[in-house]
Amino acid sequence: MLRISDLTYRIGGRRLLDAADASLAAGRRVGLVGRNGTGKTTLLRLIAGALDPDGGGIDVPSLWRVGMTSQEAPGGADNLIDTVLAADPELVRLNAEAETATDPHRIAEIHIRLGDKDAHTAEARAARILAGLGFSEDRQQRPCAELSGGLRMRVALAALLFSEPDLLLLDEPTNHLDLEATLWLEDYLRRYPGTVLLVSHDRGLLNRVAEAILHLENGKLTLYGGDYDSFERTRAMRLQLNEKLRERQEAQRAHIQAFVTRFRYKASKARQAQSRLKMLARMEPIPEDRGDDGITFDFPEPDPLPPPLYSLEGAAAGYNGKAVLQGLSLRLDPDDRIALLGANGNGKSTFIKLLAGRLTQMAGQVTKSRKLRIGYFAQHQAEELDLDATPVIELGRRRPRDLDVQLRSQLGRFGFSQQRADTKIANLSGGEKARLLFALMSSDRPHILLLDEPTNHLDVDSRQALVQAINSFPGAVVIVSHDPHVLSLIADRFWLVDGGRVRVFDGDMEDYRALLLARTRGGGNGANDTKNKRSPDADKGGDRKEQRRQAAERRQALAPLQKQLKEAESAVHRFEREKSKLTEAMADPALYQGDSDRLVELKKRLGQTEKHLQQAEDTWINLQEAWEEASAETQ
């Protein structure tokens, strides 16, 4: 069990952690959440031993190996497979010694230990992890030095996962992943055998992976059972109760103060007044919940335009005369909400750039409404901002005819107060820079929002605000994001970018998740072997009612099996929670100093719970496989 006791840590006189306490049972998957700047990464580094606390302590079991996401990307001439294998120094050392050892007893010891570590499967395991994170077999054999910084950070994550530490500390592990790799990581972490402490702004990841939520707020740690949605509900109820208690306390303080004011200088009541003054001094004030900063997103409403806004007929797009996408025959209407699916490198950003007018088609025809205005968001545009300017100056350069009040009103739509609007862009946080980009790209009231990874640098609350704003926007939306929760809340149609084409994907995020998991577990070789794709011409003319009717029939056919799957998953969670409670109870030192019958009873219950958990997991796995097979048959 990981124990955090009376932990205190200061940075520049500010207390990030103030006598914080928490206990995490072995084998649990816990999400660490809190607003930006509260100290989540600092806490991970304290647990990993990279920082020393100012007070209190962290008790990690002595036999546990601790691993944390690296801030440094691997490089050099070693290929990806060898880089990942090198993450297990003992394995590397044993393999090297096995080549040179001559003593028979030592050779036997080496091979026994190699067998314990499943050394014969090491390369295959490394390859599977790299493949799950988006590296093809060919790329796995290439040097790390050839990769971009983002891809090398993926290799660092693969190396960490391969090393299988007993305590896995993950700090925003999806930052450098695409949607496909994010979905794979979710599945991997759900099966991870060790203890996981995960920092993430991805609500879907926290809901699917975390069994408990550790909340860091005002320097204190509070552990909530269940996933992120459960945490939000429970915390909201606690805050509501806390507010009632605070109001009651304030009324009591006012009543006592009124008595003191009235009788403090009256001889017969002086002693009682002094007693009540001491009572006031002893009353611990209940702090008022300030909520968040009121971060908002509000896209201005465009003038209506008749459909289609955009149509493509046999279009192709690419770079330097080489087509990345071709045969594009699609259309966009004012009410479309479309998410682009497909692995990194397949052309999603290329397609958005074509729609944004950043690329000219190489073939075919692209037709758009003459009055069409387009809002284009790309994360790399943050690098083009003038860091010495302020948000109001930057917006004014793009809207030179607008008055100052109009500029500030537009910035206010995206959460900029007057003070932050006059702050140098260099001093803005990553989330504030992202919100500035939204303000800039929507300043001329666009009819289409083209969003390429808009959620990077946004925390959970900001992402939720963005989702609400997009869903309130009356124009068309095309979005690329590695956050499946955001996509599931925004998109009502999906286009799959794969093999140089853009095709309609007839399904939802759950269908796509099942397709990817089946593929990574050997269920297929790619998008081309699925039946849920349609020809590019299927969207022309758009018989959407028929598409949605067929999709609804497929989901209805799978509903009974999906219900059984959810029930089995709930059973697994129930037995896991029971196992955790029993394990935590058996970790109490007082148990071993009292009645031994209590210890015997706990051991008996733990054995029964572990047996039931194994049965529940087997049932869940069998139902999962049956559901994936049924999904493939109905597509």
Q: How many CA atoms lie within 13 A of 231 on its CB side?
A: 23
CA-wise closest residue to 458 among 435, 436, 491: 435
pLDDT one-digit tens code per residue, 346-391: 888 899 999 988 888 899 998 888 899 999 998 777 777 888 899 9
Residue 409's DSSP bridge partners are none
The answer to whether 547 and 504 are in contact (CB under 8 A) is yes
CA distance 152 to 145: 8
CA distance 174 to 203: 12
pTM reported for the whole predicted model:
0.64
Q: What is the DSSP letter of 23?
A: E
- Residue 529: per-residue pLDDT: 41
Instruction: Strand 167-171: give its sheet, edge to edge.
Output: 66-68, 167-171, 195-199, 29-33, 212-217, 220-225
pLDDT one-digit tens code per residue, 402-411: 899 999 999 9
CA distance 189 to 201: 16
CA-wise closest residue to 29 among 190, 186, 183: 190
CA distance 541 to 73: 48
Within a 10 A sphere around the Cβ of 81, how many other Cβ atoms? 20
Provide the residue count of the chain. Answer: 635
589-624 in b/e form (b: 16+ CB < 10 A) is eeeeeeeeeeeeebeebbeebeebbeebbebbeebb
- Residue 289: per-residue pLDDT: 54
Cα 50–Cα 55–Cα 60 angle in degrees, nearest 5 = 50
The answer to whether 567 and 561 are in contact (CB under 8 A) is no
pLDDT one-digit tens code per residue, 262-308: 666 666 555 666 666 666 565 555 555 554 455 778 898 999 888 88
Is residue 111 classed as helix, strand or coil in its secondary structure?
helix
CA distance 156 to 72: 8
Contacts 24+ apart (CB under 8 A), 245-250: 245/286, 246/286, 246/287, 246/288, 249/283, 249/285, 249/286
What is 554-634's CATH number, 2.60.120, 1.10.15, 1.10.287, 1.10.860?
1.10.287
CA distance 575 to 615: 10
241-275 in b/e form (b: 16+ CB < 10 A) is eeeeeeeeeeeeeeebeeebeebeeeeeeeeebee
What is 26-50+63-231's CATH number, 3.40.50.300, 3.20.10.10, 2.70.170.10, 3.30.70.1890?
3.40.50.300
Cα 515–Cα 178–Cα 387 angle in degrees, nearest 5 = 160
CA distance 188 to 209: 9
Enumerate residues 6+ apart whose C-beta is below 8 A from 498: 342, 343, 346, 526, 527, 528
Q: What residue ranges of the chain have pLDDT lower than 70?
A: 239, 241-247, 249, 252-253, 255-256, 259-260, 262-294, 520-559, 562, 589, 592-595, 624-625, 627-635
CA diameter of the chain: 98
CA distance 558 to 544: 21
- Residue 111: per-residue pLDDT: 85
Is residue 202 classed as helix, strand or coil in its secondary structure?
coil
Is residue 363 classed as helix, strand or coil in its secondary structure?
strand
Provide CATH code, domain 310-373+444-542: 3.40.50.300
Element (H, E) at 100: helix 89-100
CA distance 608 to 159: 36
CA distance 47 to 60: 8
The answer to whether 182 and 205 are in contact (CB under 8 A) is yes
CA distance 496 to 494: 7
The answer to whether 506 and 547 are in contact (CB under 8 A) is yes
Is residue 536 classed as helix, strand or coil in its secondary structure?
helix
- Residue 450: per-residue pLDDT: 94
Q: Provide the sign of the torsion angle of the four alpha carbons 81, 87, 90, 92, taken in this order.
A: positive
How is residue 44 written in tokens? 């991970």
